[in-house]
Amino acid sequence: MNARLDSPEMPVPDARAEAAARARQQQLTKPPGSLGRLEELACWFAGRLGSSTPQISRSEIFVFAADHGVAARGVSAFPQSVTAQMLGNFASGGAAINVLASLEGCRIEVVDVGVAGDPELPRGVRNERVRPGTRDLFSEAAMTDEELTAALGVGERCAREAVQRGAQLLIAGDMGIANTTAAACLICAFTGAPPEQVVGRGTGVDDVGLARKREVVAGALARARAATGVAVSGAALSGAALSGVAVSGAHGSATDRTGAARQLFAHLGGLEIAAMAGLYTEAARNAVPVLLDGYISAAAALAAVRLEPGTLPWMLASHRSAEAGHSAALQALGLAPLVDLGMRLGEGSGAALTLPIIKAALALHRNMATFAQAGVDGGAPAGAT
Amino acid sequence: MNARLDSPEMPVPDARAEAAARARQQQLTKPPGSLGRLEELACWFAGRLGSSTPQISRSEIFVFAADHGVAARGVSAFPQSVTAQMLGNFASGGAAINVLASLEGCRIEVVDVGVAGDPELPRGVRNERVRPGTRDLFSEAAMTDEELTAALGVGERCAREAVQRGAQLLIAGDMGIANTTAAACLICAFTGAPPEQVVGRGTGVDDVGLARKREVVAGALARARAATGVAVSGAALSGAALSGVAVSGAHGSATDRTGAARQLFAHLGGLEIAAMAGLYTEAARNAVPVLLDGYISAAAALAAVRLEPGTLPWMLASHRSAEAGHSAALQALGLAPLVDLGMRLGEGSGAALTLPIIKAALALHRNMATFAQAGVDGGAPAGAT
């Protein structure tokens, strides 16, 4: 199924439920505002789940794995074979995201969108291979338009199935050696930030590797620009400005802008990143919020918003990655992460880690007594700000 | 029971268990360092719980409530009566800390260390009243030395009982209208930071109330200094310098320094703050770590470390409060909080909120597969930093 273009019917959050939640927060037995971002979270989810007292009973995690042709250029500290090996680790429950999903009682599904070498799939890993890894984005387009559509479609199908199971919050994670290189290209292309700001050490390349990675990203951006005729803006963007304006050379209709974004995504992206973007977009179409993870997730989120701006209101940022450049991506999206714990693992681990904070915020909102119920003087104390 | 002075037998963390945990972290299936502070947390608890694969099966929360004579000076946005009313809310499970304790399966005990007016105690609230609120710290010593000892003893007893029940992590929370004024005095006294930096809006005083609160704190500090002959240092302190050196005029023995700290604590403290400090110190004596909460908790922690420097290695900071001056206190303690969510409620709520992050860090450490177990290439990848 094709990724749909800017759809006028994209759902918007329920402003009435959000306002009702804000009013309730003022009546709970605490000084107004004293729960800080937990109060904002409760109101945000009220709008997204369409209830003044929202509850998340079911959240699901998808880990999308794929390889990257650019790995051959020595941009990662780990060999490409680790992507396939990690599929086995996910399947047997030994990876970080397995541990976190188990703690939170989340369904987790591992999806092979295109691991190199077509290895035998471990039991329990879903086969959605589009191709055995992307082409080398430094020298040619990583994907054809058809391959991009197929990879987006993988994420879209996963999202739809989760929605049908009753999921109220979706997390997409990634596994793919060298995917911080592809993500850096996308973040540069979709925010206009320079490679020096966006390219980091990924799994841990040394200084020589980092310099090489920056050269690869800069070269890929120049190549994609020449091949597509699409230039990227040099200006950082606010969240409000995300509806395609950074992609110059495509000032025309929404369809033109989306087309330009698709070209850049196919040239510079990864199969798993496209699946994540497809999941984000389809979740939004179904009025289901998504909890972003780290650096790779931010690249997918930027791409999703370029393809379909109405996706943005359904996105929540979980954590700030230690990977250089994640901040630039979050800033362009206009999203502030909940925590900053120096994590840079991917897999959805940062998002899964913050789930209990979100659940706690909603439980406080639902279960705390009001001033009236508790017989406590308050609600509008003299001098309270 | 009296608070003991600097005891040479204060337990120290288990360096061998911590080192073993660090070695294990290098073998788990992730790039080294990619779980950021979660890795540090696992190693920290390894040292405190004396196991290379630590687990927290039982954590307990104590909420200490008391009133403050200084409330009569209009330093809070809420009337003093709210302290007693909130006891009822805690007892019936309607407060924020009740909701969070329930989510985490923590035992919670609410302790009246000295609520004003001697109200009838709600069922389930523990009566440990030392006196019906402190005296007005602006005009006289808040507590006598005997009252301070009694309030410290309340926390010490609570800690010992929790340890006997098998608790492996303790949280102390606070409730007491006007207690940010007392806490500000203590933070100024024990760090040397000026009132302008340390005094904030508490539950939400307006600009006039904030100016009044600053005057009250400055006046109380001057009064306590004159009454005790103990001067406070003008320099901010590093955590390593906390063993009493900021309290000048008492350059002599450890007993002298502790005595000076006790005098300041009695003059400027609160009954619930003293109980928290007593809990922190006694937990450390029993080699049980404590998870600090916000602003009031930081004041109690500073006092505890002044009274007994060996308490510091058993303290972990949970969150950064929105209350101005919490950062100065944490900096003096040399502690970096896990999260910053703009919370400023007290009750132990910030600490309880971060418990799932800590549990997740320990679960990842225990349950993730090693590279060898998973058959994944890694552990010492080429070029990894």
In chain B, which residues have their Cβ closer than 8 Å to the Cβ of A205?
A: 383-385
Compute how many other C-beta atoms are within 10 angstroms of the C-beta atom of residue A367: 17
Q: Look at A89 and B384 and tell me if their CB atoms are within 8 Å.
A: no
Mode of pairing for the β-strands spanning B231-232 and A315-317: unpaired
- Structure confidence at residue B250 as a pLDDT band (50, 70, 90): very low
Average per-residue pLDDT for chain B: 92
In chain A, which residues have their Cβ closer than 8 Å to the Cβ of B383?
A: 77, 204-206, 208-209
| Among B367, B324, B319, B373, CA closest to B347 | B319
Chain A 192-231, residues with CB within 8 Å of chain B CB atoms: 201-206, 208-209
Q: Look at B99 and A367 and tell me if their CB atoms are within 8 Å.
A: yes
pLDDT of residue A250: 45
- State how far residue A354 is from chain B, nearest Cα, in angstroms: 8
Contact status of A356 with chain B (Cβ, < 8 Å): yes
B80 to chain A: closest CA residue:
A377
Share of chain A above pLDDT 70, in %: 90
Give the whole-angstrom CA distance, residue B114 versus residue B177: 12
Of A82, A202, A343, the CB nearest to B38: A343
pLDDT of residue A341: 98
Contact status of A373 with chain B (Cβ, < 8 Å): yes
Share of chain B above pLDDT 90, in %: 86
Of A205, A353, A368, the CB nearest to B99: A368
SS3 A342: coil
pLDDT at A88 over 50: yes
Q: Look at A368 and B96 and tell me if their CB atoms are within 8 Å.
A: yes
Contact status of B384 with chain A (Cβ, < 8 Å): yes
- State how far residue A151 is from chain B, nearest Cα, in angstroms: 26
Give residue-wise pLDDT tens across range A129-161.
Answer: 999 999 999 999 999 999 999 999 999 999 999
| Among A357, A261, A286, A282, CA closest to A317 | A357
Residues ≥6 apart with Cβ < 8 Å to A141: A135, A224, A227, A266, A267
pLDDT of residue A248: 46
B359 to chain A: closest CA residue:
A103
Residue A267 token pair: 């040239």
SS3 B111: strand
- Structure confidence at residue B8 as a pLDDT band (50, 70, 90): low
Q: Which residues pair with A291 in a beta bridge?
A: A171, A316
| Among A43, A56, A35, CA closest to A17 | A43
User: What mean pLDDT is predicted for residues B215-229?
Assistant: 95
Compute how many other C-beta atoms are within 10 angstroms of the C-beta atom of residue B207: 10
CB A186 within 8 A of CB A326: no
Residue B343 token pair: 């919370």
Give the whole-angstrom CA distance, residue B194 versus residue B216: 13
pLDDT of residue B91: 97
pLDDT of residue B229: 87
